[in-house]
Each structure stands twice: as structure tokens, then as C-alpha cells.
């Protein structure tokens, strides 16, 4: 007898196949990544680390054959050690890092580990304001880290949508910060990493101590790996964290990349400084903030990193940006007001209140009814709150994976505009359920979306 969970998974397969995923933080993984994530490696406990001695620059064949000492607390590690070393080596090659910790269970865990490695309770961190596109883990008062460290928020320029670098510099010189963070979950520009590094240098001169320069690139890691987005590690950043899904197209998980001296996580550090940050991070991940790593997910990360090293991944990443720019332009033609007037990456932010006098949550729900999935999102200065924000966030990583191109972006923009106008009409009539009142219109659009998806199957399904 089949379990109810199996039936619900089958329903989710149908939903994914017959709809289009526009949430910029979601993607589809390959069959190989799915198989690794669902493998028997889930049976193995592997607290600790493989030895990193001699791994940088080794061939994959050498890693697969060589038996090195490990820093594990359980036996039977020979295969998971080799897999984890492959993941580390591939991540370092992808991002030109000195070291990679592939164990974080999520991007949030990765960020927490870096804070724990470098900061003391009460230390000050300069990070992007959540209301301007930052992430919860960058200082939102509802998070654990905000109760331990003091976060000072910088914002964006409302006219351009870009980071307000002048404000960042002023805050860095006004407050004795220990960490300067560039990272976001709703931002459509390419940061000026060189300018940020210069601000860090000025702040170090002012305060007379080292300041960790950190980038949370969870959204654009795939674009960085493909070489079509600037890499913060090329501009003097000490640490870069990311998730391994989103544009990187791997399993759900986290990754910490760092510059500096790689040492044994078992040895006591003689000095806490930026040169030793790779080892400090390893100690902070395990045993500092996590227990046993998920070796089946680490294997899936290794597979995804291997895929990202191939030439076709660069083409994929270029198409993400091309599709995003086309979709943004087509939306603007149809009356959508976009933050920053467009996009430089994979992500688009639309102000639905200014565009059609409807809130983002109403629009999100209506699009769900036709098989287009995005998320309501607060905008800078938004007064609508978390559950009725003025904006929506959408992007192109998942639909690009399925093979959709610029021609299909025009179709998507057309459908989005039609749904927006129906919602606008319903709002003018005081109708809070446009999906029911205009059921025939929604059903017709749903059929159009479904017909398009038949030509673009989801990988692994």
C-alpha cells in the first residue's frame, strides 16, 4: 500500500510540470543530482572532516584513489571522505577560493557559522537592510544572530535601486564594526565590490583592527561560477557564503568559501586573524554550530559543482540574464513599474501598487491559479507589511533550466499583464477573490500555460 506522502509527491510532480516557476530562489536539479541526494549516503554518520592535506591541485583520479588521514569521529569514512574532498576541490575551482566548507545545511547556517567564527557577542556588523532587499540572517530582529550581535543596516538608493555606498561608508566610519557584509535576497544590481573593499580599508584604518569582508551571494553564485557576474573573492573579500541551489542548480544546502591559510580543524589556533579564517570557519561549522553533515547532500553538491564546471553551464548562466532582461523589458511595455527600472542579474522586483493598484499577495495568489509561481515581496519604504506588501519578486533561473527563451518571456509577460488587469478590475469592484469571479478567464490562461509547458519538460521528472 502506497503512503500518502508518495501520492503528494506525485501531485507536486504534476504541479511543477504543468506550471512555470518564476521564484528567483528556486530551480530544477539534474537527474544525477536527484540520484545523489536520494542515495544510501543518507545512512552514514560522518562528524568531523576529511583531511585536506595535499588536496588542492590534485586530479580527481588522485582524490578518488588516495587514502589520507581523516578528522572524523566515526569509522568507515573512506568513501564519504573522497566524495567530500571532491566537493571541496570542485567548489574551490569554481570560485577561485583557497578553501571551501561544504557541510552547512543551508545558507542561513553558513552565515551563522561565519559570524560565530569571527565575532564576539555584542560586536557590530554592517549589513543591508531587510526592507531594502537584505536577508533575514543579515540582522532581522526576529533572528538569533540579531540577539547576539549588533547589526547596523545600510540601504539602497530609492531612485536607482543600487546600494547607497555613501551611506555605507559613513556608517562604517561612524561605528566600530567587526564585519562588513554585502548580501541580499531581493536586489537586481551587480555590487561594486571594489568600492566596498575600499570602504572596509578606510574603516580598518579608522578603528585600528581587522574587519572581515563577507559576501552572501546565495542568489547569484551560479552567475559568479559561470564568470558572468563579478566574484567578490577577486576584490579582497575574505569570505563568500552561498546556498547551493538557486542559480547554482544544486541540492538545497549551504557553502562557505574563503581566502587564507588552510589548517587542521583539530589543532588549536595560535591567533585569531583573517589569514586563519578558513580554519576558524571549519571549527565554527563543526563542532561550533552543526553536528553530523548530510553526506548524501554533499554528494549532490559535488555533482552539481561538477556540472557547473562544464562549458554548457556558462551558456545556461548567460541565458538566465538574457531572459531576465527580456522579461523585464516586456513587463515594462505592459505597465509594470520595476525597481531599478530593470535588472542586471536574474531577479526582477515589480511594484504592483504603483503599477496596477493591487498588493503583491493578491497578485501572487492570482498567478498561482494560472500556473505561474512567484512571491510577494516588500519594497523599500513598503507600508503593506509582510503579508500584503506592495511588490512581487520573480526571476528566470528555473524557466531557463527548462529551456525557455526570449520568445517565451514575451508570452509570460503577456499572461502576467492579463492577470494583473483582472486583479485590478476586481479591486475596483471590491472583489477580494478574482480567481472565483473570473474563473473562466483564469481557466483559459491556465490552459495556455499548460500547453506551453508540454514543450519544456522538468529535468528528472
Question: Active site residue: 178, 246, 259, 283, which one?
Answer: 246
The model's pTM? 0.96
Taking a C-beta distance cutoff of 8 angstroms, is the pair 149, 124 a contact? Answer: yes
Q: CA 357, 187, 17 angle in degrees (round to 5)?
A: 75
Please name the residue that has the C-alpha cell 572596509.
Answer: 200
Tens place of pLDDT per residue across the chain (461 aa): 579 999 999 999 999 999 999 999 999 999 999 999 999 999 999 999 998 665 666 788 888 888 787 889 999 999 999 999 999 999 999 999 999 999 999 999 999 999 999 999 999 999 999 989 999 999 999 999 999 999 999 999 988 999 999 999 999 999 999 999 999 999 999 999 999 999 999 999 999 999 999 999 999 999 999 999 999 999 999 999 999 999 999 999 999 999 999 888 877 877 899 999 999 999 999 999 999 999 999 999 999 999 999 999 999 999 999 999 999 999 999 999 999 999 999 999 999 999 999 999 999 999 999 999 999 999 988 887 777 899 999 999 999 999 999 999 999 999 999 999 999 999 888 888 888 889 999 999 999 999 999 999 999 88
Question: Active site residue: 252, 325, 393, 402, which one?
Answer: 252
What pLDDT does 448 receive? 98
Q: What is the CA radius of gyration of the chain?
A: 23
Residue 387's SS3 state is coil
Taking a C-beta distance cutoff of 8 angstroms, is the pair 260, 277 a contact? Answer: yes
- Give Cβ neighbours of residue 396 (< 8 Å, ≥ 6 apart): 22, 24, 320, 323, 324, 327, 346, 409
Domains of the chain: 34-308 (3.40.640.10), 311-453 (3.90.1150.10)
Taking a C-beta distance cutoff of 8 angstroms, is the pair 99, 260 a contact? Answer: yes
Active site (annotated) includes residue 252? yes
What pLDDT does 53 receive? 66
Q: Using CA atoms, how far apart are residues 58 and 328, in angstroms rounded to an integer?
A: 43
Active site (annotated) includes residue 82? no
Question: Active site residue: 18, 35, 44, 47, which one?
Answer: 47
- Give Cβ neighbours of residue 250 (< 8 Å, ≥ 6 apart): 29, 33, 244, 300, 301, 303, 304, 305, 308
Q: How many helices (H) and strands (E) does the chain have?
A: 18, 15
Active site (annotated) includes residue 45? yes
What distances in angstroms separate CA 11 from CA 22, 29, 75, 375, one per listed residue? 19, 18, 40, 21
Question: Active site residue: 18, 35, 44, 45, which one?
Answer: 45
What pLDDT does 271 receive? 86
Question: Active site residue: 164, 216, 230, 441, which one?
Answer: 216
C-alpha cell at 135: 536577508
C-alpha cell at 410: 514575451
Q: What is the 3-state secondary structure (H, E, C) of 238-299?
A: CEEEEECCHHHCCCCCEEEEECCCCCCCCCCCCCCCHHHHHHHHHHHHHHHHCCCCCHHHHH
- Give Cβ neighbours of residue 364 (< 8 Å, ≥ 6 apart): 374, 375, 376, 392
What pLDDT does 48 receive? 94
Active site (annotated) includes residue 90? no
C-alpha cell at 79: 568513501
Active site (annotated) includes residue 156? no
Amino acid at each position: 500500500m502506497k503512503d500518502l506522502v508518495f501520492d503528494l509527491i506525485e501531485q507536486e510532480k504534476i504541479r511543477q510540470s504543468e506550471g512555470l516557476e518564476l521564484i528567483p530562489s528556486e530551480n530544477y536539479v539534474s537527474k544525477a543530482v536527484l540520484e545523489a541526494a536520494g542515495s544510501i549516503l543518507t545512512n552514514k554518520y560522518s562528524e568531523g572532516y576529511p583531511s585536506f592535506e595535499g588536496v588542492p591541485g590534485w586530479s580527481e583520479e588522485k582524490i578518488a584513489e588516495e587514502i589520507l588521514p581523516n578528522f572524523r569521529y566515526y569509522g568507515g569514512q573512506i568513501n564519504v571522505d573522497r566524495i567530500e574532498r571532491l566537493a571541496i576541490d570542485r567548489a574551490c575551482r569554481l570560485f577561485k577560493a583557497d578553501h571551501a566548507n561544504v557541510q552547512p545545511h543551508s545558507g542561513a547556517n553558513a552565515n551563522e557559522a561565519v559570524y560565530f567564527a569571527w565575532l564576539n557577542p555584542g560586536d557590530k556588523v554592517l549589513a543591508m537592510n531587510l526592507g531594502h532587499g537584505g536577508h533575514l540572517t543579515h540582522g532581522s530582529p526576529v533572528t538569533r544572530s540579531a540577539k547576539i550581535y549588533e547589526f547596523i543596516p545600510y540601504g539602497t538608493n530609492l531612485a536607482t535601486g543600487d546600494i547607497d555606498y555613501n551611506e555605507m561608508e559613513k556608517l562604517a566610519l561612524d561605528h566600530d564594526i567587526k564585519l562588513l557584509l554585502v548580501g541580499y535576497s531581493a536586489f537586481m544590481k551587480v555590487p561594486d565590490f571594489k568600492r566596498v573593499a575600499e570602504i572596509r580599508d578606510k574603516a580598518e584604518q579608522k578603528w585600528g583592527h581587522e574587519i572581515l569582508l563577507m559576501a552572501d551571494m546565495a542568489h547569484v553564485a551560479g552567475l559568479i561560477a559561470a564568470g558572468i557576474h563579478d566574484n567578490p573573492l577577486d576584490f579582497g573579500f575574505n569570505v563568500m557564503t552561498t546556498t547551493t541551489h538557486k542559480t547554482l542548480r544544486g541540492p538545497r544546502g549551504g557553502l562557505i568559501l574563503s581566502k587564507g591559510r588552510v589548517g587542521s580543524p583539530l589543532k588549536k589556533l595560535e591567533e585569531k586573524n583573517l589569514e586563519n579564517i578558513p580554519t576558524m570557519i571549519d571549527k565554527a561549522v563543526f563542532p561550533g554550530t552543526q553536528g553530523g553533515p548530510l553526506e548524501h547532500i554533499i554528494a549532490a553538491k559535488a555533482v552539481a559543482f561538477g556540472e557547473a564546471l562544464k562549458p554548457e553551464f556558462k551558456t545556461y548562466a548567460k541565458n538566465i540574464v538574457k531572459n531576465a532582461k527580456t522579461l523585464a523589458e516586456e513587463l515594462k511595455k505592459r505597465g509594470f513599474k520595476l525597481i531599478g527600472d530593470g535588472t542586471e542579474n536574474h531577479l526582477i522586483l515589480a511594484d504592483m501598487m504603483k503599477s496596477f493598484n493591487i498588493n503583491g499577495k493578491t497578485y501572487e495568489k492570482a498567478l498561482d491559479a494560472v500556473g505561474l509561481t512567484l512571491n510577494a515581496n516588500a519594497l523599500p519604504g513598503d507600508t503593506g507589511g509582510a503579508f500584503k506588501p506592495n511588490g512581487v519578486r520573480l526571476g528566470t533561473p528555473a524557466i531557463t533550466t527548462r529551456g525557455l527563451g526570449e520568445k517565451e518571456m514575451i508570452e509570460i509577460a503577456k499572461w502576467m499583464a492579463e492577470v494583473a488587469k483582472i486583479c485590478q478590475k476586481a479591486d475596483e469592484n471590491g472583489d477580494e477573490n478574482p480567481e472565483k469571479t473570473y474563473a473562466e478567464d483564469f481557466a483559459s490562461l491556465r490552459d495556455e500555460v499548460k500547453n506551453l509547458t508540454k514543450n519544456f519538460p522538468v529535468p528528472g521528472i
